[in-house]
Amino acid sequence: MVASTSLDVVPEDPTAYKKKDYWDKRYQQESSDTTFDWFKTYAELKPLLNEAIPNKDVKILILGCGNSTLGEDMYDDGYKNIVNIDYSATVIEQMKKRCANRPEMSWLEMDIRDLKFDNESMDIVIDKGSTMDALMCDRGDVWDPSEELINDVKGEVDEVERVLKPGGTFLYITFGQPHFRKRHLQRDCWTINIKTLGDAFHYFFYSMVKTV
C-alpha cells in the first residue's frame, strides 16, 4: 500500500464524504499504485466472507470499491466473477489499470443508487467500509436522520434488493451499530443477521439473504 500522507484526506466538513466531487478530487491526487482500505482488509474479513460466500463461482458486485484491495484480494482467493463499481470515474480508471492482469474482473463507473444491471442478476452484493456510511455523513441528528439521508440510503438498498437473485446475499460491513443501521436495511424479502469482528472496537458484518 502507498500511504496517502500528503493528501487532504480528512475534510473539514464531514458532509464532503457524501459528495462525488470530494471523492473525484481525492482520487485525482492519487495514482493507480495507491490503495486504501477503509478500516478492514480482506485478510481480516476473509474468514467471514469465505463462510458467507462458500461457492467461489458466484457473481459478485462490490459497491463503492474506491481503491480498496478487496476486489483484487478476493480475485486472488478464487472469486473471479466480480464487478466493481464506483461513481468516481477517476478511481475506476486507476483500478482498471492496476488490475489489468485480472481479466475476469470488471470496473464500471456507476452510482450505487442507480444500478445498470438487470433484475435478479447478482448472487452477492458487498458494501464494505463505509460506502453506505458515506451517504450518511450528515450534520443532523443521528437518531433522527434527514429525509434526504433516508432517501439516499433507501435508493441504494432498493437497488441491491432489485439486482439480487432470489437466494442471493447482501453483505454490509461497517462500524455502524445496529440501532442506527437496521432501520435502513429492513425489507420483507430478508432477515438481518449480524456478526461482529474486532477487538476493542467492534465492527459489524450484516448479512441479508433474499428469500426465494
Query: By rule CB under 6 A, what count of residues binds ligand SAM?
Result: 21
**CB 55 within 8 Å of CB 78:** no
Binding mask 89-118 toward ligand SAM (x if CB under 6 A, else -) reads --x-------------------xxx-----
164 binds ligand SAM (CB under 6 A): no
What's the DSSP call for residue 41?
Answer: -
Q: Measured from the CB of residue 7, what is the shortest distance to ligand SAM in angstroms?
A: 14
128 vs 184, beta carbon nearer ligand SAM: 128
**CB 164 within 8 Å of CB 125:** yes
User: What's the distance, CA 59 to chain centroid?
Assistant: 15
Give CA–CA dist 54/58, Å, rounded. Answer: 9
176 binds ligand SAM (CB under 6 A): no
Which of the stretches 53-61, 125-133, 189-197, 204-212 binds ligand SAM when contact is defined by CB under 6 A? Answer: 125-133
Q: Measured from the CB of residue 85, what is the shortest distance to ligand SAM in angstroms?
A: 6
Say which amino acid occupies 178: P
SS3 assignment for 3-28: CCCCCCCCCCCHHHHHCHHHHHHHHH
Sign, CA dihedral 103-81-159-137, equals: negative
What's the distance, Cα to Cα, between the start and end of the chain in Å?
41
- In the list 129, 136, 190, 209, the residue contacting ligand SAM (rule: CB under 6 A) is 129
Q: Measured from the CB of residue 70, what is the shortest distance to ligand SAM in angstroms?
A: 6
Q: Measured from the CB of residue 199, what is the shortest distance to ligand SAM in angstroms?
A: 19
Residues that bind ligand SAM (CB under 6 A): 23, 37-38, 64-66, 68, 70, 86-88, 91, 111-113, 128-131, 134-135
